[in-house]
Every structure is written in structure tokens, then in C-alpha cells.
Amino acid sequence: MLKINSIERLEPDGDWSQLTSGITLPGGSSLGVVGDCDTGKTDIGLLLSGLRASGRIRADIHLQNEGRLNDLRDLKRSRLTAFVPTDPYQCFSGMKETLRGEFHVGMQILGDVSRYAQEKVRKVVHAFELEEFLDRDPFTLSGGEAVRAGVALAAWKQPVVMVLDQTFEALHKSWMRRLRSALQEYLPPSAIIIETHSRVPSWSADWSHEIRLRPIRETEMRVQVVDPCCTTATSSAADYVGDVSTVLEADGLEFRYDRAPFSLGPINLVVRTGEQWALVGPNGAGKTTLAKCLACIIRPVSGNIRVRDRYGKFQSLPAHGWEHLWANRVRYAFQNPDEQLFRPTVRSELGLTSTTALSSKLLALATRLGLTAVLDSSPMSLARPMKRLVTLCIALGSGAPVLILDEPTALLDSNQAALVRAELRRFRRDGGAVIVITHDETIIGRDSRRLEMRSGQRVG
Amino acid sequence: MSPLSAALSTLVSACAILGCSSLLSRVVFACVVLLWLVRRQSSFRPLFRALRWFCVAGVPLFLMHTIANTGFAISARVLGGIPIRMEGLLFGASVLANFMIITFVAMAWSTVNRGNLFDALVSLRLPIWVTIAGTQSVATLYLVRRRADAVFLAQRARGIPVGPALLARIRAVPTVVLPVITMTLVDASGRAAALASRGLGASRVAPLKRLSCSSDDVTNAIWLVAAAGLAALAIQG
């Protein structure tokens, strides 16, 4: 039994405000913590797993028969609790070269290399269907595969408290529920599962307890959007732009990795102006690989890609060494925003240094996305969802006719996600085309075309 | 290469750098080690990579002492007045030989499997912080390299010119280095929490394998001792 006496948050005015108090979680119960961007969800998750958090959240949590959670000795704490961070790759120590080795490290660092521990590992590998990845480098797993592996690495020891910090966002919808049921099947019946989310998931009714975090401050920049995505009838590209013409063409696209037994294609695809394509499929289907090929981040081994430039002429992939020029035609926004930000301020990242017409257009875009308040902040200091909005703003304002967005609404709260959806519709109305890799049905909507993938092949 | 062989090559190389007083002995040692590495490698690719790094970083040092270091007297002038300093040339060659030996050691460590290094450190029953510091340093180097590759591609996808001209590559360095440093620092806190939750650092790590000496290690030791012996003979000669 876990008893949460109180959780408090340090507000910008210097006062501590109480977020919740007096919650008792009996064995076998589940708790959902839901809050917008930057409300302290991760810190709460860390404290609930007995780890240290930043100083802006404090909590008084007791574990039955063990005392105060934060006073437990490290070894005991790591046996009783488990924490899975938002980025599942952080679960991998990197001290071994394969996922199998990572499980061995897990047993070794807890000092338990007995047959019983090995049997537990075998069971968790089976429950999370990881057999085929055991001899792969965990850092080369796709997003969803890494989530399963990360959760399994935390769960194998059968902890009493298991905290999942926004872990489900990169998972295919079929795996979202399967992961929960796999956990319930593998963990002992008395285990307490705690999930943090930026948006209320569809299974929230299954939670026995819920904490809703209020925003840290209601900023004047918070733009409320009425999202027509789910209410409008099916629309076509012609509803967005009058003249529908081909903007991107992929013909017989194939790709193979040197060291992984995976091959993509051949894939044929025609994208027209005003269209939104959703690349969907289970984890490891090759969605990101296809998107990277289309954006010339990796070069296909065979096949052609052509993009219509602003003068109406089709252009093929650039020569080796000139791949950056492709970004003027096809712009790719990575799932991890940290990889694409490097300038001292958000303003300079967006190129808002002059007073040209382009700058005013970008400024309007940044305002609509709620970035005005952070224009002079360092992008490195922002919360991850805000970084995500900055990279999306850069892509939307780049002038490229085709945007490829990898999980654009992952980690965003519902309002931020609605802002992004509205901007994507505006982009398509202005003659652009969008390709999204996503598991978020709200962004796919009814007017997206679906490219369904499985094992590197287009199946629909 | 096994961690044992890499450690032995480090030890013998350190002795060669500190103990070989003459240039000839260092060159002899470096040549024998080169022969050993050529014999070991099934592919010449890592060797060429090491030699390329050696040329980029070591040759300018050599030229600087031979031509520009005013601490040495000018012995001759060539090509219409470029000074040649013989003492500087010998000193540069000596520095270059040391650099070559260090390159070989780095190359030897770069071939060590991370898992084997972890097992070796654990089986030595060193203090837990030494084991964690050693293995996490190697893991972090691997992660930084992967991250640098990812950031390079991400910046190129953003339209930042990262080539093909050398100047473009040099100008792109901050766009890759800054995100890599920031990401490594940001990632460190999340990674620390995740690994602490798994139990890293909580207690002594239980060994799965015992450190053992393979026939390959014996062969490597023979080559290294032979290199050191020939270098010693060169000193006497």
C-alpha cells in the first residue's frame, strides 16, 4: 500500500501550493497523473518512485511496512520501485552491446544472478514479445520497440511500485493496451502502476485514482483553439487548394540497413498539394525509415523521388554532399526537438532577426503557436513540448512545399496539439502537403490519406 | 580485442614512451606494434582510419617543429628561403613517434567490446564507483558518437549546409557540437534517474563471468613484449 500524504509544487510567486493530499493506493491499484506541459508530472513520477526530483515539487509518500519512500536505502528502493522515463532509450545503460546484455546488467547491479532471476527475465521477455530483439543493440530499436524494451528492463524485477512517465506516446494503439495488460500479467497482483500523461488517455476509466494537475500559470499566450478536426465531414485536398497537383512522387523506393535485418519497399507514393498523408503501422514497420528516405536524410538504395519546386519543375534527389538543399523542398521535423536546435534564442532559431515580410509572417505563426512569451529565451532551457513547438514553427515557416513530421503531437497537451492541427490545416490550405508519422488518431482525422505499413512494405 | 590485451598494450606503450630515450627505439617499437595491428585486423579500414587521424593531427606538429619552432637553430633553407631546423626535425619525429604509439593505444581500446569491458571491471572486484565510472565513460562515448551522427542528419534536414566543401563543414561544427553537448547534459539527468531506478550504484555488481586469459591474449602479449625487446635493443645499438 502506498500512502500519498501530500504533494506540493513551488509556484512562480514563491509559494508552495498543494496539488493533492491523503491518497491511499492499495495493492493492485493504478494512479493516473494528468497535466499540461511543465506542470511537474515528471518530478511527481520521480518522487513516487523514491528518486530525487528537482526542488520545485515536494512530497510526503509512505510505503507500507517500509516507511517514507524517499528515506529508503538505494538497494531496497531499486528493488521495490521502478521508473520508466519519457525517453525509453534512457533506460539502456549502454554498458553492454545487446538487449540481452542489458538484462544481464540489470540482474548484476541488483546482485541477483540466480536461476530464479533468469527465469523472471525470460518471462518478461516473453510477456513483452522481445525475443527477436534480444541480440540487437537497444539503441537501434525503433521508438515503440524501445518503449517495450525499456518497460521490460524496469519491470523484470517485479517492483511494488511502477511509474511510467508519458511512456505510451510512441506506441502503436494496439500496443498501448497490450503494454498495460502485459504489465498487469507480469507484475504481482499487489503491484501499483502509476502513469503520467499530458492528455487523458482512452483507458483513464480503468484507473482507480487520478490526479489532475492545474497549469502552473494561465499565461496570456495560451491560445484556445476550436478544433474542427473531428467534427467536419470528410474533405479532400481540393477543399484546401483549388488546383490539386502532384508535389512529391516516390517510385520503387527501396532501402536496406547495413547491420539490421530490415528492408524497406519497394514503395510507390504520390502526394498532391493540400493533402495530408499519415504513415501508420505497428512499431518497427519502417515508417520513420520511409520518411527519412523521402527527406533525403538517408539515401534509398534504389527508386526515384521527385519533388515539384516553387517554379513548377520537378527536381530529383541532390548529389552527395548537397542533401541539405533538399530541405528547401521537403522539410523534416525530428521527433526529438533537441537535435535541431542550437541558436541562443528562439527568435534567432526562427530567423526573426530582420524586419522583412517573411519575418512578420513567421512572427504571426509563432504567435499563433503560443511562442511569443519565449521568443527571447534560450531554446535549450524550454520544456520539451515547447521545444517541439519551436521546431514545428521552424518547419512550417520554412517555405518548403512538403513537410514531414515525426509524431508532431507527442508530449503536447491537448491545447498545444489543437494549435498544431490548426496550423497544419492552414499550411495545406496555402498549398502545402504534409506527411505525418503518428499514432495519434486526432491528427490523422478524417481527411488524411493513410499509408499503412507492415514489415517495411506498404499494405494499404 | 579483449580488455586484458588493451590494458597490456597501454602499459607497454606507456613504458615505451617513458623509457625509450632514443628516437630509433620509439620508431622500432611503433613499427612492431603497427605490424601486430596489421596482423590482427581482418579489415584494414580501422587501421586506415587511425592513420588518417594520425596524419591530420600529427603531421602539422612535425612540420611546426621542423620549420616554425624558433627554439631550434636553422640548419638550411630550401625552396627560396623556407627554414629547415635539423634539431626540430628530430624532435618532431620523436613527438610523432609518441603520437603514433598513443594512436595505436586508442585504436586498441576502440576495438574493445563494451560488454567485455564491463565484465572485466566487475570481475576485478574494484570499488563500485570505479566500475561505474569506467563503464559509463565508455558507454557515454558511444552515445555521444551516435548522437553526433543523429544531430548531423537533423541539421542537414533543417537545411543547414554541412558540406561538401571543407569551409561549409567547418562552419557547421557549432550546429552539431552545441546540440550534442546540450543533449548530453539534458539526457544525463534523465538517464541517471532511470539507471538509479534500475539499481546502478546501489550495491556491488555481481559478476557473471570470470576474467580469463585467452590464447589471443597470450599472442598479443608476445607481440608487445617483442616490440618492447626490440626497442630496448635499439637503445643499446
pLDDT of residue A372: 86
Listed in sequence order, the residues at least 6 apart from A166 whose beta carbon sits closer than 8 Å to its beta carbon are A41, A42, A86, A196, A197, A198, A411
Q: How far is A446 from chain B (nearest CA, A)?
A: 29
* Cβ atoms within 10 Å of B215's Cβ, excluding its own: 7
Which residue in the block uniquely carries the three cell numbers 546484455?
A101
pLDDT of residue B42: 65
* Residue B11: φ, ψ to 5°: -65, -50
* Residue closest to B34 by CA, chosen among B4, B54, B63, B19: B54
C-alpha cell at B211: 576474467
- Which residue on chain B is closest to A154 by alpha carbon? B198
Chain centroid, CA A414 distance in Å? 14
Chain centroid, CA B178 distance in Å? 23
C-alpha cell at A423: 496550423
Q: How far apart are CA B147 and CA A170, in angstroms?
A: 20
B106 shares contact with chain A (CB less than 8 Å): no
A61 forms beta bridges with: A4
Cα angle B137-B142-B143, degrees, rounded to a multiple of 5: 95
Letter string b/e over residues B72-107, b meaning 16 or more CB atoms within 10 A of that residue's CB: beeeeeeeeeebebeebbebbbbbbbbbbbbbbbeb
C-alpha cell at A361: 509572417
pLDDT of residue A313: 81
Asked if residues A342 and B155 have their Cβ atoms less than 8 Å apart, the reply is: yes
Asked if residues B72 and B85 have their Cβ atoms less than 8 Å apart, the reply is: yes
Determine, for residues B174 and A342 on separate chains, whether the beta-carbon distance falls below 8 Å: yes
Please name the member of A75, A82, A95 whose beta carbon is closest to the beta carbon of B202.
A75
How long a stretch of residues is chain A? Answer: 460
The continuous run of DSSP H or E covering B27 comes out as helix B23-40
pLDDT digit string (tens) for chain B, length 237 residues: 888 888 888 888 888 788 777 778 887 887 787 777 777 766 677 677 777 777 777 788 888 888 888 888 888 888 778 888 888 888 888 888 888 888 888 878 878 888 888 888 888 888 888 888 888 888 888 888 888 888 888 888 888 887 777 787 788 888 888 889 888 888 888 888 999 998 888 888 888 777 778 888 888 888 888 888 887 777 766
A251 forms beta bridges with: A304
B78 forms beta bridges with: B82
Return the number of CB contacts < 8 Å for A and B: 169
Please name the member of A111, A139, A338 whose beta carbon is closest to the beta carbon of B203.
A111
pLDDT of residue A226: 47
Q: Give the long-range contacts of residues B125-128, CB within 8 A, separation 24 or more.
A: B125/B204, B125/B207, B128/B201, B128/B203, B128/B204, B128/B205
pLDDT of residue A348: 85
Domains, chain A, in order of start with CATH, read 2-213 (3.40.50.300), 228-458 (3.40.50.300)
- Which residue on chain A is closest to B201 by alpha carbon? A109
B187 shares contact with chain A (CB less than 8 Å): yes
Please name the member of B136, B162, B186 whose beta carbon is closest to the beta carbon of A324.
B162
A35 forms beta bridges with: A213
Asked if residues A193 and A48 have their Cβ atoms less than 8 Å apart, the reply is: no
pLDDT of residue B41: 67
Give the residues of chain A that fall short of pLDDT 70: 216-244, 259-260, 310, 352-358
C-alpha cell at A273: 498539394
pTM summary value? 0.78
Could you give the C-alpha distances from A451 to A252, A293, A439, in angstroms and in order?
A: 15, 15, 13
B68 shares contact with chain A (CB less than 8 Å): no
* Residue closest to A339 by CA, chosen among B107, B11, B118, B149: B149
- To test the contact with chain A by mutation, choose from B128, B175, B197 the residue with the greatest count of A C-beta atoms within 10 A, namely B197
Asked if residues A209 and A32 have their Cβ atoms less than 8 Å apart, the reply is: yes
C-alpha cell at A60: 510526503
What is residue A37's three-state secondary structure?
coil
pLDDT of residue A233: 43
pLDDT of residue A460: 73
* Chain B residues with CB-CB distance to A109 below 8 A: 198-203, 205
Determine, for residues A85 and B194 on separate chains, whether the beta-carbon distance falls below 8 Å: yes
Q: Provide the chain B residues 143-182 that lie in CB contact (below 8 A) with chain A.
A: 143, 146-147, 150-151, 153-164, 174-175, 178-179, 182
Q: How far apart are CA A411 and CA A387, in angstroms?
A: 11
Tell me, what's the ipTM? 0.79
- Which residue on chain A is closest to B188 by alpha carbon? A90
Q: How far apart are CA A333 and CA A418, in angstroms?
A: 18
- The DSSP annotation for A268-280 comes to EEEEETT-EEEEE
